[in-house]
């Protein structure tokens, strides 16, 4: 659903369409996104439109990016260890 909302606002029906879930099920998923601060809903008559709230995702991406060098070096070291262990076991 988040991937769809990146393209722009959508109705609950449009968000539920690609999934094998009911509109009630889709609404429950959207409630979780709303509670997490990642989506909002507005009502226009009988239509409920959902929008993505980008700021929390940007914040999370920035936080994750600060740890990228650590994880890259750690995973490179692990790959080297596995490769060396593989060579000695042959």
* Residue-level pLDDT at 58: 93
Instruction: Provide the pLDDT confidence category of residue 1 given band limits of 50, 70 and 90.
Output: very high
b/e string for 28-45 if b means 16 or more Cβ within 10 A? Answer: ebbeebeeeebbebeeee
Q: Which among 35, 41, 43 is positioned nearest to 15, based on CA atoms?
A: 41
The pTM assigned to this predicted structure is 0.69
- What phi and psi values does residue 66 have, to the nearest 5 degrees? -65, -25
7-11, 16-20, 43-47: least confidently modelled range? 43-47
DSSP label of 8: -
30 pLDDT tier (thresholds 50, 70, 90): very high
Average confidence score pLDDT of the chain: 91
From 3.30.565.10, 3.40.50.720, 1.10.10.10, 3.60.70.12, which CATH number describes the 2-53 domain? 1.10.10.10
User: Residue 47 has what pLDDT?
Assistant: 86
């Amino acid at each position: 659903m988040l991937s769809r909302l990146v393209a722009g606002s959508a109705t609950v029906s449009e968000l539920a369409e690609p999934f094998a879930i009911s509109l009630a099920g889709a609404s429950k998923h959207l409630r979780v996104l709303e509670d997490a601060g990642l989506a909002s809903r507005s009502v226009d008559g009988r239509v409920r439109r959902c929008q993505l709230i980008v700021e929390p995702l940007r914040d999370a991406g920035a936080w994750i990016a600060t740890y990228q060098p650590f994880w890259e070096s750690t995973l490179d070291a692990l790959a080297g260890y596995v490769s060396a262990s593989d060579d000695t076991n042959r």
